[in-house]
Amino acid sequence: MTTDKPASDLELIPQCAPGTPMGNLLRRFWHPVALSAQIAPGKAKALRILGEDLTLYRGESGRPYLVAGRCAHRLTRLHTGWVQGEDVRCIYHGWLVGEDGAVRETPNERETGGRRGLCVRAPSVREAGGLIWLNLCGAKSEQAPFPDWPWLALPEEQVRKVYEERAPRYRATYSTWALATAMGALFGLPRLFPSSWTQPAALAQIALALLA
């Protein structure tokens, strides 16, 4: 395929950091980031996706949450701390971060009950089909609808087996689709979003046409 676009535009395609064309696009969609069985209640783990460091933890109620990877105080990795109720406490100075990202407690500070307006990033998170999903789009109005695939209603054990067997194929398909979408935006092809972003057949046809 030939194009008159400068090489600098082509170099934007694999870049997924915040503020990049591909990064902004991918942040609209739901990404499976962990198996449900990988994170027990009261435990936390570090994640890195689309160039962002995040903390995935499960509250004592069993509900999963996602907050920024580092504390707002001294940038200590939050997953090294401990979960208290539905919040996570930093291991360094004990700052308590809520499930919504708000700083609820600031020990050894004048305002020990937290600082009004101080918060860290807290992306949208859902659990379905034995998987934990996240959406990094800040504006919920711009988020893609959560997938309604039938297999999400299957028992967790069965979904886990299917996921482990088909994960490589899923990643390849998703990468092709994302590449086709970004190239469409860069090279002036008709926009498909947001009205048609749940039509895999249409996206597959565009991908094949672009990559032929």
Over residues 112-121, the pLDDT tens digits come to: 666 777 889 9
Taking residues 128-136, report their average pLDDT: 89
Q: What is the DSSP letter of 18?
A: T
Gap between the Cα atoms of 126 and 134, Å rounded: 6
Q: Beta 131-135 vs 82-84: how paired, if at all?
A: unpaired
Please say if the pLDDT value at position 60 is more than 90. Answer: yes
Closest to 121 (Cα-Cα) out of 78, 80, 86: 78
pTM: 0.69
| Choice between 107 and 162, residue whose per-residue pLDDT is larger | 107
Residue 70 confidence (pLDDT): 94
Question: In the beta sheet, which residues pair with residue 165?
Answer: none
Using pLDDT thresholds of 50, 70 and 90, give the confidence band for residue 142: confident
Q: Which residues contact 180 (CB under 8 A, 6 or more apart)?
A: 203, 206, 207, 210, 211
